[in-house]
Structure 1
Amino acid sequence: MRIAEKPWWQYRWYLRPFFWNQRRKYGQVLKSALLWGRSPRVFLGVAWLYGALERKGSPLEPALRSLLSLRVAQLNACRFCVDINSALLDSRAGSKSRSEALERWRDSSVFSERERAALGYAELMCRGEFPLGEELTRRLHGCFDDDAIVELTALIAFQILSSRFNSALEVPSQGFSR
């Protein structure tokens, strides 16, 4: 990592419950969280946005959210994000078939039309290719309502931010996907 680690107990007291929860959930504190935690207000904003996007009432099902997060991580060469999102996708999808086929999603029969539309959109957003073409716009509206498209856009944008942050600071994988 480009930034030296500091022990979790040297962080602000109100961030420590987040780290405790990560240790409980993942068996370790996430190195990415320790970096975000160096700026406590930014950490809280990122944590709040992540929680809003991962809520139970999201119009995007959990496996789709993980699929998109993993694809954005792959495109941004984020080792940490690929690691944790592969494990999360495999858990949510019930198998490794989606994570293993994701880099060649256009040629794979594993993905639904809804997933393909979302993956195409994620790739365009990662490359910054705007405006969208008519075909992709039509495909998105055929699979998602307007509220879901807004949420889809927010999820992809958040993952772009997160994966570029982690890539720039060379956050390593932590062994979640094996």
Structure 2
Amino acid sequence: MAQRVTVKALKKYPFWLKPFFISQKRRYGEVLQPGLLWARVPKLFAAVAALYGVLDRKRSPISPVLRSLVTVRVSQINWCHFCVDINGMTLAKRSGSLAKVEQLEQWQQSDLFDDKERAVLEYTEAVTYSDQQVTDEQVMKLRDYFDDDGIVELTGLIAFQNLSSKFNSALDVPTQGFCSVSFNPEKKVD
């Protein structure tokens, strides 16, 4: 199936969005399809870009590798092929290998993930799967690693990635060839 909504020619977007597109082209080698879709409603694009910038800042209490683990896992759950593609590439760069990307769907059975990552991934899944609820025990595990502000930021990151991956999945945004690792999304089994 083709992407469900088309993007406009770059020249048809407002001039004030051009720096965003130039930055994407410089960083990724091309303009990202989701950016072009969000930009069909320029104020919405600006709001989403600002939120992403806050969540992916250098001084975040959540490490870059942990942020990428969260974004890839949420993307897998929400069947967002584009998100797994780009976030998988970012995780591989940040962690120094493809190993965690390749093992993330089976993180519970893998030795690659430490206790902090396991606590965050368990919480990520509880927030993301609509048939689950976050438990007090999960939040208590997070308190071993984060203060209240960190837990709020982690929850914001998970919520943002749910927004992004559901947007891209609903519009059937294709991969752009950033990461060679594929995934086989399936419904959660208890």
Q: Name the TM-score, length of structure 2 as normaliser.
A: 0.91
Deviations 1:60-112 (A, max 9, x none): 00010011000000000001000000000000000111101100000111001
Give the deviation of 1:137 after TM superposition.
2.1
Structure 1 CA distance, aligned partners of 2:146 and 2:111? 20
Q: From 129, 133, 142, give the equivalent of 2:135.
A: 133
Residue aligning to 1:164: 166
User: What amino acid does structure 1 have at the position aligned with 2:78?
Assistant: N
Q: 2:94 aligns with which of 88, 92, 95?
A: 92
Q: For residues 25 and 3 of structure 1, what CA distance do their matches in structure 2 show? A: 24
- Cα deviation, residue 127, structure 1: 1.4
CA contact (8 A) 1:77 1:167 kept: yes
Contact 1:79 1:167 in 2 (8 A): yes
- 1:3-22 to structure 2, matched below 5 A, reads 3-22=5-24
* In 2: Cα distance, 1:32 partner to 1:88 partner: 16
Pick aligned residue for 1:27 from 18, 26, 29: 29
1:110 aligns with 2:137: no
Question: Distance between the aligned counterparts of 1:143 and 1:106, measured in 2?
Answer: 19
Partner-residue secondary structure (3-state), 1:14:
helix
Which sections of structure 2, spanning at least 5 residues, go unmatched? 181-190
Q: Give the whole-Å Cα distance in 2 for the aligned partners of 1:88 and 1:9.
A: 29
Partner Cα distance (1:173, 1:115) in 2: 26
One-letter amino acid matched to 2:83: C
What is the match of residue 188 of structure 2? none
For 2:39 and 2:174, the matched residues in 1 are separated by: 17
Structure 1: stretches of 5+ with no match in the other structure: none
Aligned partners of 1:117 and 1:143 also within 8 Å:
no
Q: In structure 2, which of residues 136, 141, 144 is the aligned counterpart of residue 142 of structure 1?
A: 144
2:15 alignment partner, SS class: coil
Report sequence identity in percent.
Answer: 51
Once the two structures are superposed, what CA deviation does each residue of 1:145-170 show, in whole Å capped at 9, x if it has no partner?
11110110000000000000000000
| Higher percent of residues as helix | 1
TM-score by length of 1: 0.97
Tell me, in whole angstroms, the C-alpha distance in 2 between the residues paired with 1:23 and 1:171.
Answer: 18
Offset, 1:141 = 1.1
